[in-house]
Structure 1
């Protein structure tokens, strides 16, 4: 069992639960060298490449960011990843720390389902970026308030116009509820094989979201009149593109296996979280989001 932990949030109680479970069940726990200061005793510290090669499952302690990091880490060898919520509003993480012991037993006994997730495979062959992977989104933005991002769009090597504005967001269905949604883009069904491209504060060019298929390859060429373009992948800085640089993104299917212990409970929680994003619901629809044992109190 591999363990990935949030860099600063207190997760000691969950680590203790995992180590106690591992001793009882004769499970070996592997932790990356980079997390050595966060986990002590009862584990084997290994390099990242050895971690990826050896683990049969991964437990991520944190929020969605930690979960995404674990998924990116295992993109070349997907194994079941269980998220334990030590964050706030999480769409990916499912298990509360209080239910971790039960979840570990179900994980090791195979009593769970897998939710497949695709990711964006991002390359910049003529620029400074190596190949990266993003399960939420890729954002081409500006470094400061001055200037505008100006990029030409091509899909499957055919030109489709240009964007000029504050930023351009390329999102997966998983990431469509994040920056894409805040910028006015659509929420994509988690079951869809699609990518959405949404401009942020467009000044000219394409001004609406474009939804593309799973087989489409998107390419952005930075125009000569553009400010330098910062690239963020899943909220993490990935580099800067200058005029003339090209960035490509395509959807890589089944790149991560997310553990689901109860698909119905997860779907219900996701509806609650989506309602917090101001999706319009009638009073009776809001009532449906409240667990039955609490409805009598409303």
Structure 2
């Protein structure tokens, strides 16, 4: 473990690029396809992009924070990096699969490690039918939008929309309304990770809706299917004292 081949990748910010320059000068490094581990330098957004970009390589990813929040990242430290990674704990993340039908017959397909969110495109509220495993659960929700989050993503947009924080390994997904007008008191649901959720856009000509899967965005959708894709995974490495599961648990007790 202490002789791992490392690939450094960095976001565009000055702090991330500076960190990469220093680390590349301090450690031998290789291309991501030749590496045993990928070290991502940046913020949470860059970490998500790294997971997407190198998913097919099936390489573990160790993130170090050179952004703002850095919830998905470890603390940035330059010393004893190989020894540090030898002590890490691995968490296997499975992404959501999003399959959308758009106006004009176009299809869109993407994955999301954080969330898939639908959002209104104009000043008028969206009208959305929500089905879970082919059963209509909400015939018509009037809202700004709706999202499905993974446990790893439950502390991001989902939490901002007052959705539940989900422990890693809980085997559930969060379905959360974004400013629901009707039914006014409906705020969301917790679903088993095996659930397949379908959103049908009602009156889409007058009330257009878009969808985003992490940072991939598609406009004018008419139907969206979302489910966890267990065939895909990424192993993310964390310092024992910076364990993601513990950080998610702590978020539930922050006032």
After TM superposition, give the deviation of residue 82 of structure 1 in Å: 0.7
Structure 1 residues 170 and 272, CA, compared in 2 at 3 Å: closer, same or farther? closer
Q: How does 1:131-280 map to 2 (within 5 A)?
A: 131-144=109-122, 146-161=123-138, 162-205=140-183, 207-224=186-203, 227-234=207-214, 236-242=215-221, 245-253=222-230, 255-262=233-240, 264-266=241-243, 270=247, 274=251, 279-280=254-255
Q: Bigger radius of gyration, 1 or 2?
A: 1
Q: Given the superposition, is the C-alpha separation of residues 249 and 58 from structure 1 closer, same or farther in structure 2, using an over 3 Å criterion?
A: same
Q: CA deviation at 1:74?
A: 2.8
| Mapped contact 1:135–1:175 kept (Cα < 8 A) | yes
Provide the aligned length of Structure 1 versus Structure 2. 244
- 1:129–1:81 Cα change, 3 Å: farther
Rounded to whole Å, the distance in 1 between the matches of 2:173 and 2:63 is: 24
Normalising by the residue count of structure 2, what TM-score does the alignment of the two structures yield?
0.84
Relative to total residues, which structure has the larger strand share, 1 or 2?
Answer: 2
Structure with bigger RCO (C-alpha 8 Å, 6+ apart): 2
Quick check: which one's helix share is greater?
1
Q: State how far apart, in whole Å, the 2-side matches of 1:273 and 1:66 are.
A: 23
The 3 A distance-change label for structure 1 pair 201 and 258 is same
Give 1:237 shift: 4.5
Instruction: Pick from 6, 19, 23 the counterpart of residue 11 of structure 2.
Output: 6
- Please list the CA deviations of residues 50-76 of structure 1 after superposition, one character each: whole Å capped at 9, or x if unmatched: x5x544321111011111111112333
Query: CA separation in 1, counterparts of 2:176 and 2:101?
Result: 23
CA RMSD of aligned residues (A): 2.6
Q: Is this contact kept in 2: 1:129–1:239, CA < 8 A?
A: no
Cα deviations across residues 83-124 of structure 1 (Å, max 9, x unaligned)? Answer: 11001112110131xx233224443xx442211112111111
Stretches of structure 2 lacking an aligned partner (at least 5 in a row)? 1-5
67, 74, 78: which one aligns with 1:94: 74
Deviation at 1:129, TM superposition (A): 4.6
Structure 2: distance between partners of 1:181 and 1:81? 24
- 1:173–1:272: structure 2 CA closer, same or farther, 3 Å change rule? closer
Listed as ranges, the matches of 1:13-162 within 5 Å are: 13-23=18-28, 27-28=29-30, 30=31, 54-96=34-76, 99-107=77-85, 110-125=86-101, 128-144=106-122, 146-161=123-138, 162=140
**Contact residue 76 and residue 255 of structure 1 kept, 8 A:** no
Question: Residue 131 of structure 2 contacts residue 199 of structure 2 at CA under 8 Å; is this kept in 1?
Answer: yes
Moved over 6 A (4+): none
